[in-house]
Amino acid sequence: MANASNDSGDSNDISSTVVEIAIRIGLAALLVWWSLQIAAPFIGLLVWAVVIAVAAFPFYQWLVRVLGGRGWSATVFALVGITIIAVPAVMVGGGLVDSAQSFGTALEGGKLEVPAPPESVAGWPFVGERVYATWTLASENLQLALERVEPQIQALGRWLLGAVASAGLGLLQLVVSIIISAVLLVNASAGAQLARDLFTRVAPVKGPQFAVLSEQVIRSVAVGIIGVAIIQALLAGLGFFVAGIPLAALWTFLVLFLGIIQLPPTLVTIPLIIYMFATADTLAASLFLIWIVPVSLADNVLKPLFLGRGVEAPMLVIFVGAIGGFILDGFIGLFVGAVVLVLAYEVFVNWLREAQAPEVADASSEDPGERA
């Protein structure tokens, strides 16, 4: 009877313990879920802020050395960052508005003329005849040509309005993220220690190394993808504006966008080269060609130089992570995807090395006579 009562008491104790553990886990899960719901509207801003702070930390350190104060340096950093975002946005937006107004005025006044297409256009594979017919109609009666594609134009207009609204919201969020990143930079030491502690908690041995690797990957992507795309877009935009191409601001933005998502800018520049040879004199078109072809191919030279530089991980892993992250999560995925894939790669490589280490140790501990 005593044993039965002891067994019953043990069973009750185990049941009470299981129930208590289940309640604690449930409360912890509820707390985490609730916290995530509260923080959800700000997670994107915070992630962008961390990315900007990590990528711009060398520049912030230079400001501290020059200005001699963290607060002033963070303020200057925020002002410079907002200016870098705001000035191109105003220029592109103003250029698009001016171009649209000029196009509308010329169309209403009957002053807008489309040059006749070259005969060679009709010989283009697959689409040559259709393009030639549409282009010819536009050169002879632009109003009729626009009426025929009015539904497509309206759909394009609605899409453009949505894209402009989304871009405006994105720019506002980016400005807020820059301000938050300035605050993070003031407390950079505490933030770096927090990151190291977090990685060390997850991976006690390799944690500090993973923290440094994440920082390097973020800077590598910022320079190797975003930086190269900006350089390419600025050089291409300079050629567009000097050549007097209509909607030059729009084409510049498209080159930047294509560079970030790793599509060739030739998707924009080749049609513009054709346009120049069809509408401008041979000298101007040839000079534009000489300028824009090296610019269009510059990323093939610059990207291998900057992407993966200073990072102890293959450039291919960084590149695949950045592009896959972009497809999955948009622009912020460029950084998050690269960091996640590089960390996964390092964990996998370390796992392989740890698995091989005992075999090497066993082989080295064998008696030489036995091996002989």
Per-residue pLDDT for the chain (372 aa), expressed as one digit of tens each? 455 555 555 566 677 787 788 888 989 899 989 988 888 888 888 888 888 888 888 888 888 888 877 888 888 888 988 887 777 777 666 666 666 677 667 666 666 677 777 777 777 777 778 888 888 887 777 777 777 777 877 777 777 677 667 667 777 888 888 888 888 888 888 888 888 888 888 778 777 888 888 888 888 888 888 888 888 888 998 998 888 887 787 788 888 888 887 788 888 888 888 888 877 888 888 899 999 999 988 888 888 777 767 677 788 888 888 888 888 877 778 888 888 888 888 888 888 877 665 555 555 555 555 544
pTM exceeds 0.85 for this model = no
Q: Cα-flanking dihedrals φ and ψ of residue 342, to 5°? A: -65, -40
* Integer angstrom CA distances of residue 361 from 102, 206, 238, 350, 372: 77, 21, 62, 16, 18
Evaluate whether 26 touches 39 at the Cβ level (below 8 Å): no
Amino acid at 30: L
